[in-house]
Chains A and B, each alone.
Chain A
Amino acid sequence: MQTWKQFNHINANSITEAETALAEKGAWVIAGGTDILGMMRFDILPHDMYPAVLVNLKDITPSLDYIKEENGMLKIGALAKLEDIAHNTMINEKYKALAQAAHRTASPHIREMGTIGGNICQVNRCWYFQSHENRFHCLRKGGNMCWALPGDNRYHSIYGAMDGCIAVNPSDTAPALIALNAKILTNKRTIDAVDFWVVKIPGSTILEKGEFVTEIQVPPLAVGAKSAFTKLALRKSIDFALVNCAAVIGSNNYRICLNAVAPIPKRVTASEDSIKDKTIDESSAEAAAIAGINDVMPMAAAGYNPGNRWKVSAAKGVLKQTILACK
């Protein structure tokens, strides 16, 4: 198989050491490795963006892979494995959407390697961005055009472009964290989940150079509130989402978030307003789902490009299923 171009590697033993190492030019964080190593193997970034050094966070002590409850708050270290989150009893009982999101991510092996920090920081999966050897030098890599706009955009944003880009955010845990009103702690600051994702070159988050996620904090749900997560994908394992959705509903908690529909996760306040104070049933869920897709701007079909109007219906279906699951 394709070998990696050479790079250097540091096993950081402390957060300070990691920070110092990351300040260097061409230094990137490596957590689980499943995102960055694929990106490097196939040389999808321009030559001058190829990581010169990988700074491994997994050897930091004390370890950042904890899952615990402290003062009623769920605290997950950034290096916690997705599989551990998926099967954690407490998370399944009290923060179900997050457990379900983690469980539906990728494959069991990737969940045994991949971390929640990595999952929320992963780059986008637009097939033009991901082309081998930077075949399409697009906006997200410092180029000057988006190839998906005139190309095949069936899986791209139904909410138009952000900074010219119509790639979607692919993370499964991201909408769950937004629905759960989580906070993301880095070595520098604390960020509300809803503010975490942006469109960058080539990244997907507001993290600055030398900054990395250290912990995720999730406040407890109100008594009586339920949470759920739904994912639509081509296959029932391995695949990234075509559309996914997380919701927290009940006891004055209404937070519903779609992802894989726009360059950043999309909170659908119209659905929240619609379901607010209603009994969840087939008809209220249907109405709330329809309300949630009221502001879409899907891509039109053109030539052999089927466009993505289909995804609007799919988003409505996924919204409805997620709302019903919060019954």
Chain B
Amino acid sequence: MSEEIKKIPRTISRREFLRDAGIVVGGTAVGSAFFLSACGEEVEVTKTVTTTAPGSTVTTTAPGATSIVTKTAADNTVTVTKYTCPVDGLEFDSLEALKAHYDEVHDGVASESSDNLINLTVNGITHQLYVKPNHSLRDVLRNEFGLTSIKDMCVGHGACGSCSVIVNGRPILSCMTLAIECSGADIQTVEGIAAANHPLIEAYIKHFCMQCGYCTPGFIVTAKALLDHNQNPSEAEIRDALSGNLCRCATYQKHPLAILEVAGKL
């Protein structure tokens, strides 16, 4: 009798999990919601081999996850795989039976999505962190990094620009971006821009470009992205680049003055 406990760490991806488990990544198995729900969770697979006589069965179960097939050291061991529903724990003899049950009883929709490890370089420093698929980049930057400059004005309609950050050089809306798609990205927020003493900060203050100030970080981020690509923008180009940033206080006519000053044209 031998016992083998195999711990699958959190960091493993869906693909790696299935590969290690020896399950062939077949067409219909890939992308199934309940497989995905197993991945990345800390899955402790405890397998107890009780007999090695032909016909004997070994059951391996993983809490909250589907079972995996494990090969044992013994030659004449028969292993049988049970498939466990991650929602209600019922066991099935085949993957097809489990899927049918899941589709019927749990509407076929993912009940719990999994954590994924990503790398983000934020204002020059690279971090590793876990995110779920439904975490926006905005929420991650605010909640994990405390970068409260990233605002919410349009409650997620993608209409205001106050959540703007620079990702790989582009000014984008962090509330409409999934953190899980940003692994490897280089991200700049106004905190980093200010820490680096970018001349835009002083120019914005000098030219009274803010009133309530809520939109200001989004504008500065967008203006910086513009200047990074175009050191010599015309006023028309400035207005075009900033036309996605809403300001209810309507400070609009001051921003080109600040940006033109930084561009050396005032």
Contact = CB atoms under 8 A, between A and B. Distances in A.
A1 B161 contact: no
A41 B136 CA distance: 11
A52 interface: yes
A34, A48, A108 interface centre (most CB from chain B within 10 Å):
A108
A53 interface: yes
A27 B103 CA distance: 14
A42 B157 CA distance: 9
Interface stretch (A2-10, A270-278, A284-292): A2-10
Interface string B21-34: 00000011011110
Contacts of A37: 158, 176, 178
B133 A20 contact: no
Contacts of B164: 109
Given A9-B113, A236-B243, A25 B30 contact: no
Contacts of A55: 31
Given A9-B133, A20-B27, A52-B109, A58 B181 contact: yes
A143 to B, nearest CB: 19
B28, B112, B156 interface centre (most CB from chain A within 10 Å):
B156
Interface residues of B, number: 47
A209 B136 CA distance: 27
A52 B108 contact: yes
B15 to A, nearest CB: 9
Given A10-B31, A38-B157, A107 B243 contact: yes
A53 B173 CA distance: 22
A110 B160 CA distance: 10
A284 B158 CA distance: 41
A205 to B, nearest CB: 21
A7 B132 CA distance: 9
B152 A1 contact: yes
Contacts of A11: 180-181
A238 B109 contact: no
B202 to A, nearest CB: 24
B64 interface: no
Instruction: Label chain B's interface by main secondary structure.
Output: loop
B177 interface: yes
A108 B114 CA distance: 33
Given A2-B156, A3-B134, A7-B110, A108 B171 contact: yes
B37 interface: yes
A5 B244 contact: no
Interface in A16-74: 20-27, 30, 33-34, 37-38, 41-42, 47-48, 50, 52-56, 58-59
Given A23-B27, A109-B161, A109-B173, A6 B181 contact: no
A229 B157 CA distance: 26
A313 interface: no
A88 B170 CA distance: 16
Given A26-B109, A50-B109, A238-B244, A1 B173 contact: no
Contact of B30 (A5, A20, A107, A108): A20
A33 B222 contact: no
Contacts of A38: 156-158, 176
A1 to B, nearest CB: 4
Interface of A: 1-11, 20-27, 30, 33-34, 37-38, 41-42, 47-48, 50, 52-56, 58-59, 81, 83, 106-110, 112-113, 236-238
Given A24-B28, A113-B176, 4 more contacts: A2-B156, A7-B110, A106-B244, A110-B176
9 contacts: A1-B155, A1-B156, A8-B36, A38-B156, A54-B133, A83-B170, A106-B244, A237-B243, A238-B159
